[in-house]
Amino acid sequence: MLTSPIRSPIDWGLDMRTEAEWSEMRERYRQGVSISQIAKEEGLSRNTVRKYVQTDVPPAYVRSRTCESKLEPFKPYIRQRLWAFAMVLGYSRMRFVRFTTDAKTPTFISCHMDAFDYFGGYTKSILYDNTKNVVLKRALRSSDSQWNPQFQDFFTHYDFKPRLCKPGLEGAKTKGKVERVVQHVRNDFFLGLEFDSIPTLNSLALTWCDDVNAKVHGTTYEVPIDRLKPENLRPLNSVTPYQIVQTEFRKISRDCFVSHQSNKYSVPWRYAGRDCRLMIRNGRIDVVVDDEVVATHEIVPGAHRCIKLKEHFEGLYKAVLVENRERHLDRLERNTQVSLVNHQNPDIDVERRDLGFYERFSGGGGP
C-alpha cells in the first residue's frame, strides 16, 4: 500500500505564524517533540519556538515584509488550490483519492481511515515518502526513525508497519505506483473539472475511483477490483475505530465565546476570561477548562457565524442584578460610615452663630 505525501504549496518564511501553526507547535511540544526539533523543522530560532509553546495566547499579527514577495500576485490562486491524498494497493492496484483543504496530521490520518473503508480493510505495512506527517527525523533504518507522535499513535492502534522510501532519486523509484496515480488524477480526473464544494469534489472522486478500479490496468492487464481478494486485507471490524482528536488552545472571550475556523461558539458565562482547550473530533468541539468539558458544539460550515446556546447564559441576568445590588448596598454602607465619622469626630471644628444672623437672610428683623 502506498500513499502520496501532502506538501505545502508555499513556505511562510515569517517570524510570526498563523494561529493554526502556533496551536500545532504547542501540541507537538506537549506530545514530547523537543524545542530544537520543532525549530529545525519550522525554520525558527529555539527562543521563538520556546515563546510559542509556552504562551497561552495565539499570535495576533504577522510581521510585515520589508518588500513585497514575488509570490504576491499569485497568492489568491495558490490559496484556492486543493490538496490531494492518494493511496494505491501494491498487488491489485486498487486506487483511492480524497481532496482536502489542509495538510495537518489529523487530516492525513482521516484520509487513511477513508481509504481503509473504501478498500474494505488495510495491509500489514504501508510505504511512505519522508513526509513530516509520518516521520520527524529519518534514520538509516526506518524502525529507528523518530515518528510523528500523533501518526505513531495511529499506526500502533491499527498495528500496521510504516515503511519509508529511501531519500533522493533511489527512493523515488520505489514510489512509482502512487506517483502514477497522482499523474492520472491530475491529467484525467481533475483537468477541466468544475465543482462547487469539497464534498462535491470528493463525491466525484469516488465515482472516478469506482470507474478506474473496474477497468483493465495498464501494467497488470487485469481488473483491480478482481485482484482485491488476494490482497488479504485485515478487516476493519477487528479494530475499534480510531478517534482523531485535534487540540487547540484558546482564551474564552469576555462575552463568553471561543473561536474556531472563523466561527464563534458560546461557553457558559461563568468561564468568561478563562484559558481553555478545544478538543476537536468527529465534527464536534469539546471546550475543556481544568480538565472538565464545559461546553460541546457541532462544527458548522461557513465563516463568521455565531453559535449561541441559550443555556450558557441562563442565570447571567440574575447574577448581574445581584452583583449590582451588592455594589449599591456596599456604596450606601461606605457613605453611611463616612457620615457617622464626620459627626462623631471631635477634631472637626464647627462654627456656632447667633440665630439673628440667619434671620437677616430669611427676611426677619435686624439692621
Domain definitions of the chain by residue range: 2-78, 79-238, 246-313
> Residue 359: is its pLDDT beyond 90?
no
> Residue 166: is its pLDDT beyond 80?
no
Q: For domain 79-238, give the CATH number.
A: 3.30.420.10
Average confidence (pLDDT) over 150-174: 82
Q: Which single residue is written with the C-alpha cell 459627626? A: 343
Helices (H), the chain: 19-30, 35-42, 46-53, 75-79, 105-119, 149-158, 168-172, 176-184, 198-212, 316-344, 355-359
Measured between alpha carbons, how far is 342 from 344 in angstroms, rounded to an integer? 6
Point out the least confidently predicted range of 63-67, 81-85, 247-251: 63-67
pLDDT at residue 66, rounded to an integer: 56
Confidence tier at 282 by pLDDT (50, 70, 90): confident
Encode pLDDT of 37-80 as tens digits: 888 777 788 888 888 888 776 665 545 455 677 878 887 777 66
pLDDT at residue 293, rounded to an integer: 94
Q: How far is CA 217 from the centre of its chain?
A: 39
Helices (H), 122-255: 149-158, 168-172, 176-184, 198-212
- Integer-rounded Cα Rg, in Å, for the chain is 32
| CB burial string 337-352: b at 16+ within 10 A, e below | eeeeeeeeeeeeeeee
> Residue 107: is its pLDDT beyond 50?
yes
Q: What is the pTM of this model?
A: 0.59
Encode pLDDT of 291-302 as tens digits: 899 999 999 988
Report the percent of the chain where pLDDT is more than 70. Answer: 80
What nine digits make up the cell of 127? Answer: 510505504
Helix-then-strand count for the chain, H and E: 11, 14
Task: Give the burial class of 19: count Cβ atoms within 10 A of its Cβ; 0-12 exposed, 13-18 middle, 19 or more buried.
Answer: middle
pLDDT at residue 11, rounded to an integer: 32
Point out the least confidently predicted range of 198-212, 249-263, 267-281, 319-333: 319-333
Q: What is 2-78's CATH topology?
A: Arc Repressor Mutant, subunit A (1.10.10)
Average confidence (pLDDT) over 252-261: 91
Choose between 8 and 355: higher pLDDT. 355
pLDDT at residue 12, rounded to an integer: 34
Choose between 19 and 244: higher pLDDT. 244
Round the average pLDDT of the chain to a whole number and report it: 82
Choose between 151 and 318: higher pLDDT. 151
Measured between alpha carbons, how far is 348 from 39 in angstroms, rounded to an integer? 70
